[in-house]
Homo-oligomer: A and B are copies of this chain.
Amino acid sequence: MNGAESLVGTAAAAGVEVCFANPGTTEMDLVRALDAVGGIRPVLGLFEGVCTAAADGYGRMAGRPALALLHLGPGLANGIANLHNARRAGTPLVCLVGEHATWHRRSDAPLQTDIEGLARPASAWVRMSSAAAEVAVDTAAAIAAARSAPGVATLIVPADCAWSEADGPAEVRAPTPPAPVADAVLEAARRVLAGPAPVALLLGGAALGERGLRAAGRVAAATGCRLLAETFPARWERGGDLPAPLRLPYFPEHATAVLAASATVLLAGARAPIAFFGYPGVPSDLTPPGTPVETLAEPGEDVVEALERLAGALGAAPAAPAPAEPPAAPAEPPPGPLTPAAAAAVIAAGQPEGAVVVDEGLTLSADYIAAAASAPRHTYLGVTGGAIGIGLPLAAGAAIACPDRPVLCVQADGSGMYTVQALWTHAHEGLDVTTLVCANRSYRILLEELRRAGVEEPPARARALTGLADPPLDWVALGRGMGVPSERATTAAELAAALERALAEPGPHLVEMVL
């Protein structure tokens, strides 16, 4: 058994089932070990940013790490933006990066670079193996690190550590459970909620799962507190009879207005709300000055158990099923050209029970999130770290983790181009992903930023750097070019029909929504 085989054996024995990969020469022994050892399914991405985001989507849905296998420093670099998103999402993920043979590194060969330096900014844990005999133990440590924090663990494997003789696999220690919230903290939260002043309970992380939401709903029913959701949740169970917290808006003035309606903000698994960007004269903190921010559970603490204890301490009634409202008759799609609001309404109305919805819709997201609050039960996966180009591959990873659930990917066009190669993986793996491209043919968010800064009519160079209309991207051709059946919708009725067709058939589809 060589080092590569000890790595694959360690990972397979620990329950790792999928490896999202784009290997090169230095990773060929790891590739051969996938065949020799078995137990791990390789999924090819045609760009490393596809691999890392797919591993993120898989990890968010499966709750356990996949591998991302990348080629040297440049391969890692191509995957960093989506590793950054995974780090912000707190997704368990093991990133494997090949490296030159230890004795070859002194030659400074063309592909040589500082892999550890590149890995650190987007990883919670980084290690480079220094001998074949260490690879199994290093792999076990990487998996344990990825599961315990949870987060991104990057293991760098020199080629000779992969091909040289090693001992057998190593055992991975059980993940550390999240720390419980202390009684005193819980009691302080109870007092805030039981007081007379209006409280906003800001939910994040696991609090946006089913158990967390039902407990939060009991707290709200007992105290009248307002339920908010963090702006960029990694995973959010939504729809059906689940309590529907209001998502904290993106732009600082809107978020601050929402928070200003409450006398206290109580954090449950969410970070204290801060602005996405700094703007002249706008504070980083979104909570109005003088509004206290209290904490029930920090990210990483057991927020679900804390919410359930809190509901009990408040004497809240058990969660009752929501009154069965008769399903609304499907609204007629509005006539005329497709608008973002109409598209959002059509998607929310058309999404099936049990869907996983990946939202990199950007300027369409607010409309969609509002519309989908009353959709059937579904799982929402959001952008977390703000690095664009996550949607298409995140959908691929979610579909591989959940082969029995339909996946919808609401995808902005500018961001979609970043990892457009993921469409090939949708086709290659036959994934049941329906991609809905928001083709507004611009970096619309930047035009909004310019408008907010007082630039209503951008001058020539600013227009040149925000426009995607010359020539317009033909997403139908791009989708078909990668083997995904694709069509175009220019009205709400066309979108509704195209979405219905796509959902009726297994396998990937793409609809270009011309907005």
Contact = CB atoms under 8 A, between A and B. Distances in A.
Interface residues of A, number: 96
Nearest to A21: B465
Given A160-B278, A480-B477, A483-B471, A121 B113 contact: yes
A274 B460 CA distance: 49
A101 B460 CA distance: 26
Nearest to A445: B25
A182 interface: no
Contact of A461 (B42, B73, B465): B42
Contact of A471 (B121, B387, B465, B482): B482
Contact of A74 (B118, B385, B417, B461): B385
25 contacts: A25-B446, A31-B462, A31-B465, A34-B465, A44-B465, A49-B78, A74-B81, A74-B388, A77-B78, A77-B80, A77-B81, A77-B84, A78-B418, A80-B118, A100-B278, A109-B274, A110-B384, A114-B120, A159-B278, A417-B424, A420-B421, A424-B473, A472-B483, A477-B477, A478-B478
Given A35-B462, A159-B278, 10 more contacts: A28-B453, A32-B462, A47-B418, A74-B81, A77-B78, A78-B418, A114-B121, A118-B118, A424-B473, A478-B478
Contact of A446 (B24, B468, B471): B24
Interface string A111-146: 101100110111000000000000000000000000
Contacts of A464: 42, 44
Nearest to A69: B465
Interface of A: 21-26, 28, 31-32, 34-35, 42, 44, 46-47, 49, 73-75, 77-78, 80-81, 84, 88, 100-101, 103-104, 106-111, 113-114, 117-118, 120-122, 159-160, 163, 232, 274-280, 284-285, 384-389, 414, 417-418, 420-421, 424, 427-428, 445-446, 449-450, 453, 455, 459-462, 464-465, 467-468, 470-478, 480-483
